[in-house]
Amino acid sequence: MTAPRAAALLAGLALAVAPAAAHAHRMWMTPSSTVLSGQDAWVTVDAAVSNTLFFPDHVPLRLNGVQVTGPDGAPAQLENAATGKFRSTFDVHLTKPGTYKIATVNDGVMASWKEGAETKRWRGSAADFATAVPKGASELKVTANQRRLETFVTLGAPSNGALKTTGKGLELEPVSHPNDLVAGEAAKFRLVLDGKPAAGVEVEVVPGAARYRKAPGEIKVKTGADGVFQVTWPEAGMYWLEAEARGGPGEIPGSERNAAYVATFEVLPD
């Protein structure tokens, strides 16, 4: 296995196992600014998996799978990327006005089976499943994990070109623009699973600066039949959002899917 492929696999495994430890270790990306003016600007993004929200104290988020989509829907580049002990950082050069989406997406597979009295376990990609897991394995259980992590940055007026969904996994369709969120005002979003409204999905919203509060202050809501949910932001600041849709068939025959969506938003003062 080549070094780049090994690094990508390790990053994928970290994403794949994250749902099981979502409340202990939270994945996040935070841009230095989310709303900027002018015709040309830069943002620096911090990325980590931490015990304390938005405070890097556990491991860095690997950058192999991070993608930036520009206002016209075309890819934009990560620049000056670096990974340290507790966090990764990178810059995005905003050369066009409009909204940019910064995302990392992972499809991982976990499997367990019996060989005699021994339980075997494997984690990896769907592409490697056929060669890694014996055909006809006894008591085989397979879980397909799809996880998407996003944040958004706007230069000048907000736009929607970068916000289109792919139709795969659990995704967010903004009703309210993600860079037009104001304290005290309600915002609406729609969750879609494989492009269709995701009904009855619980959404958890947690404000940042948790290390300075006695209570986490989380908000929990559920999507309606149309996949829409609403959040009224109690105060300005950075917020972390997570939603999970469990069950249903995965890509591999006989597997069960766990699809998750995570995002970071900045809410501005009124």
pLDDT at 106 over 60: yes
pLDDT interval class at 192 (50, 70, 90): very high
Average predicted confidence (pLDDT) for the chain: 89
Evaluate whether residue 239 is within a structural domain. yes
Evaluate whether residue 150 is within a structural domain. yes
**Pairwise CA distance, residues 36 & 33, whole Å:** 7
pLDDT tens-digit series, residues 11-59: 444 444 443 333 468 999 999 999 999 989 999 999 999 999 999 999 9
| pLDDT (average), residues 80-95 | 98
The number of folded domains in the chain is: 1
Q: Half-sphere exposure of 94 toward its Cβ, with a 13 Å CA cutoff?
A: 28
pLDDT of residue 121: 95
Given a contact cutoff of 8 angstroms between Cβ atoms, the answer to whether 209 and 237 are in contact is yes
Q: Which of 21-35, 99-113, 225-239 bottoms out in mean pLDDT, i.e. has the lowest?
A: 21-35
Evaluate whether residue 136 is within a structural domain. no
pLDDT interval class at 212 (50, 70, 90): confident
DSSP collapsed to 3 states, the chain? CCHHHHHHHHHHHHHHHHHHHCCCCEEEEEECCCEECCCCEEEEEEEEEECECCECCCEECCCCCEEEECCCCCEECEEEEEECCCCEEEEEEECCCEEEEEEEEEEEEEEEEEECCEEEEEEECHHHHHHHCCCCCEEEEEEEEEEEEEEEEEECCCCCHHHCCCCCCEEEEECCCCCCCECCCEEEEEEEECCEECCCCEEEEEECCHHHCCCCCCEEEECCCCCEEEEECCCCEEEEEEEEEEEEECCCCCCEEEEEEEEEEEEECC
Evaluate whether residue 114 is within a structural domain. no
pLDDT tens-digit series, residues 112-149: 999 999 999 999 988 889 899 998 899 999 988 999 99
What does pTM read for this prediction?
Answer: 0.85
pLDDT of residue 204: 97
- Work out the percent of the chain whose per-residue pLDDT is above 90: 74
| pLDDT (average), residues 235-258 | 88
Evaluate whether residue 113 is within a structural domain. no
pLDDT of residue 7: 42
* Domain around 152: 3-108+143-267
Evaluate whether residue 215 is within a structural domain. yes
pLDDT of residue 125: 85
pLDDT of residue 24: 64
36: domain CATH number is 2.60.40.10
Evaluate whether residue 21 is within a structural domain. yes
Evaluate whether residue 22 is within a structural domain. yes
